[in-house]
Amino acid sequence: MEDHQIIDLYFARSENAITETASKYGRMLRAVTMRILRNQEDADECVSDTYMKTWNTIPPTRPDVFSAFLTKIARNTSIDRLDSNNAEKRGAGEIPAILDELEECISDPRIPVPGEGIEVREVINAFLESEKPEARKIFVRRYFFGSDVKEIAEFYDLGESKVKMSLARSRERLKARLEKEGVTV
């Protein structure tokens, strides 16, 4: 089923919308939540929460890119769960390490919800568009999907040191871009 047809099911308030979403995107959402949480039970709950949040958001929202819309919800839900799970034991897991890496550039790497942080989102989007394709892919896999350096290196058939260097240079360029644009977060 095409994305626009699934979205139409949400607007019609048909429960088949969730079934079709799970059929088409369930595997991708589980992968995103597992990369962040590294716990099957929590990941499954976050996927279920993603379906519920999608149901509650559509309508009135009509996403342009349904897969990105779902991924953003799953990612933010998983990060919230991770924060809750690790409230007393900071530093455990991959996501706190990722957040520490980005701390020098931005205080919260979550993609803002509509209406909040539009300026920061626009600067980051423009930054990513200006990056070379390889650097952009590495950056997105690390900071949006939560992949670790080893996974990225294997996925793109690169050395881990090259991935680390690419990420470090991208962070430097992002910081400079944010400063140049006068964006403070």
pTM over 0.85: no
Which of 85, 117, 149 terminates a domain? The answer is: 85
Q: Per-residue confidence of the chain (185 residues) as pLDDT tens digits?
A: 999 999 999 999 999 999 999 999 999 999 999 988 888 999 999 999 999 999 999 989 999 999 999 999 999 999 888 877 765 454 445 666 676 677 667 654 444 444 445 567 788 888 999 999 999 999 988 888 788 899 899 989 999 999 999 999 999 898 888 888 776 54
For residue 185, being part of any structural domain is answered with no
Q: How many domains does the chain have?
A: 2
Residue 23 CA neighbour count, 13 Å, CB half: 10
Which of 85, 109, 128 terminates a domain? The answer is: 85
2 DSSP 8-state letter: -
- 106, 169: one domain: yes
CB-based contacts of 15: which residues, under 8 Å, 6+ apart?
none
Per-residue model confidence (pLDDT) at position 95: 62
- 81, 158: one domain: no
Round to the nearest angstrom and report the end-to-end CA distance of the chain: 40
CA distance 129 to 123: 10
Per-residue model confidence (pLDDT) at position 91: 41
| Backbone phi and psi for residue 104, each to the nearest 5 degrees, phi listed first | -70, -20
For residue 174, being part of any structural domain is answered with yes
Per-residue model confidence (pLDDT) at position 179: 81
Per-residue model confidence (pLDDT) at position 175: 85
- 46, 123: one domain: no
- Looking at residue 29, which CATH number applies to its domain? 1.10.1740.10
> Which burial class, exposed, middle or buried, applies to 167 when counting CB atoms under 10 A from its CB (0-12, 13-18, 19+)?
buried
Which of 27, 53, 85 terminates a domain? The answer is: 85
- 152, 100: one domain: yes
Chain-centre distance for alpha carbon 87: 21
- 44, 100: one domain: no
